Structure 1
């Protein structure tokens, strides 16, 4: 009885040991397979993470360069804006000065136009009165010359005196039509010349 119980106990222990060994072997193999799979996956993940780290480092460097470029652009833009504001201020100031000058010039131009109109009116009046007086004087001179030339002068001398006077009269009328003042000295000299010619004829 004791031998049977010992046998069965040893048999049960052996069977349990064998079953445990088989279970351990199966579990160990599955563990090794799982470990190998996880190791390969870990290596792949590490490799992928290294690539991601390199990309991240590259992105960080690019971000730094971009920030540096943006900072330099911001400084340049601020400088350009400040210069533009200064130019705008100077332009507005110059525009204000130009507008004031234009207003002053317009006022001066209006005043000069008014003065010119007054001067032209006075000049026209003066020329008209001067020409009228000159024509009257010429008529009087003509009468005097005719009176003097009709005394002892020949027909040729009379014709010459009349032609000379007609030329002088035409010149005076032409000057009056051009609204130009007639030279008093020239008219006086012509009158003196007529008188001299008349005296010569008398002699």
Structure 2
């Protein structure tokens, strides 16, 4: 062979060896990758198998415990069943005794019913007669109560009429008092205005220690308006309370007849203004009128 052919053969052999080496390395790397994956799967399967084995052990232990408990429960149930059977037998014997006593009681009840029915007819007749007498008494009481009711309604109507008259008198008195108070306040205001016009400058000059700041003009008329207090009417008593109080007063008068002429009430005027005194007198006169009207209504 020539040198050129030998060279080309060696070059080809080198290329073939290099290609084989590359193929071997690639196959080896893929083999190593597959081997590592298989090892990982094997480890996972080993761990899973260990977990399954542990679960199986737990299940076996639970089954053993359940079997023990079932055996204990069966033993207890057998004991309870024996006791229940004995109780059932006792109850059956008691039931038989009760049925026998019930039959005896039924016989006694029938005998008693026959005796009671005989006595019941006599008692019912007596009760019916008593009830009829009570009904007649109740009817008489109802009739008397109706009469009293009619009389009371008439008295109430009279009292209502008297109250209306009292209200009318009260309104008239209030109107008169308001007119009087208005007239008195006007007269007092006019007198005060005259006095203030005359003596206002003299008082300011004479009192050297006292100093006032004048807000309004000196020629302005000064007036003192005194508002009258509103008249408060006394609360009227209800009929029952009023009747009771008047009966008590009449009974006291009957017991002390020798003191009939000594019932004068003396009212001293208070040390206050004249308007308050007038208001108190008006109120007293109104109360006395109310008491007289109430007495008249009672007599009616």
TM-score by length of 2: 0.37
Does the C-alpha gap of structure 1 residues 155 and 114 become closer, same or farther in structure 2, counting only changes over 3 Å? Answer: closer
Q: Which runs of 5+ in 2 are unaligned?
A: 130-300
Q: Does 1:75 align with 2:77?
A: no
Query: What is the CA–CA distance in structure 2 between the aligned matches of 1:142 and 1:87, rounded to whole Å?
Result: 75
**Aligned-pair CA distance for 1:111:** 2.4
User: Residues 151-202 of structure 1, C-alpha deviation per residue, up to 9 Å, x if partnerless?
Assistant: xx79923999xxxxxxxxxxxxxxxxxxxxxxxxxxxxxxxxxxxxxxxxxx
1:54 corresponding residue in structure 2: 29
Q: Does 1:84 align with 2:59?
A: yes
Which stretches of structure 1, 4 residues or more, deviate above 6 A after TM superposition?
Answer: none
2:79 corresponding residue in structure 1: 104
**Aligned-pair CA distance for 1:136:** 3.4
Query: What is the CA–CA distance in structure 2 between the aligned matches of 1:111 and 1:134, rounded to whole Å?
Result: 34
2:125 corresponding residue in structure 1: 156
Between the two proteins, the alignment pairs up a number of residues equal to: 129
Q: How does 1:154-193 map to 2 (within 5 A)?
A: 156-157=125-126
Instruction: Compare the two structures and name the one with the higher helix fraction.
Output: 1
**Aligned-pair CA distance for 1:116:** 2.1
Q: Does 1:35 align with 2:10?
A: yes
Query: What is the CA–CA distance in structure 1 between the aligned matches of 2:99 and 2:74, rounded to whole Å?
Result: 36
1:131 corresponding residue in structure 2: 106
Query: What is the CA–CA distance in structure 2 between the aligned matches of 1:70 and 1:155, rounded to whole Å?
Result: 101
**Aligned-pair CA distance for 1:54:** 0.7
Q: Which runs of 5+ in 1 are unaligned?
A: 1-22, 161-203
**Aligned-pair CA distance for 1:142:** 6.2
**Aligned-pair CA distance for 1:76:** 0.8
1:93 to 68, 85, 96: 68
Query: What is the CA–CA distance in structure 2 between the aligned matches of 1:40 and 1:154, rounded to whole Å?
Result: 144
Query: What is the CA–CA distance in structure 2 between the aligned matches of 1:71 and 1:64, rounded to whole Å?
Result: 10
User: Residues 96-116 of structure 1, C-alpha deviation per residue, up to 9 Å, x if partnerless?
Assistant: 222223323332332232222
User: Residues 34-71 of structure 1, C-alpha deviation per residue, up to 9 Å, x if partnerless?
Assistant: 22222222111111111111112112211321222122
Does the C-alpha gap of structure 1 residues 36 and 130 become closer, same or farther in structure 2, counting only changes over 3 Å? Answer: same
- Let me know the Cα RMSD of the aligned residues: 3.0
**Aligned-pair CA distance for 1:85:** 0.7
Query: What is the CA–CA distance in structure 1 between the aligned matches of 2:85 and 2:124, rounded to whole Å?
Result: 60
